[in-house]
Amino acid sequence: MAVLLGKGVTNLNTRAGVDAKVVASTILYTVPAGKTAIIHGITVRCTAASGISAGATAQVEVAPTSGDIFGSQTWAGVHAQHDRWDYAAGGKSKVITAGQNLLLNITAGATGTSQTMSVDIVGHLV
């Protein structure tokens, strides 16, 4: 459910239960019919962790392996519950059109026993 943050910028969705140790592409948000999404930022929050010594590497994209929204970043220092990583808008990006999926693509899993993340998508629809 979208929550208004001001001037049309909202929390478009929160995707809970992302396993940071697994190399995978996860759908974070699907743009509704008749709308276009502009993503302002992504916050990845660690909700549970055990024995993590190195953070995952991931990118945010529409097309798998493109990194067209936010390029590949390693979640350095994100090892424990309540740690977070922020992807912030700046420079070139793309809008996401109706029916397209916004993906989190983990390209290298976290090192350790277990790590679960929630991902908040902040943006607006036009």
pLDDT at 68 over 80: yes
> In this predicted structure, what is the pLDDT of residue 9?
86
The predicted-structure confidence for 78-96, as pLDDT tens digits, reads as follows 999 999 999 998 877 889 9
Beta strands in the chain (DSSP E): 3-6, 9-19, 24-30, 36-50, 57-61, 70-74, 84-88, 96-97, 101-108, 114-125
* CATH number, domain containing residue 7: 2.60.120
Name the domain count of the chain: 1
The CA-to-CA distance between both ends of the chain, in Å, stands at 16
Half-sphere exposure of 83 (CA within 13 A, CB side): 18
Q: Which domain holds residue 48?
A: 3-125
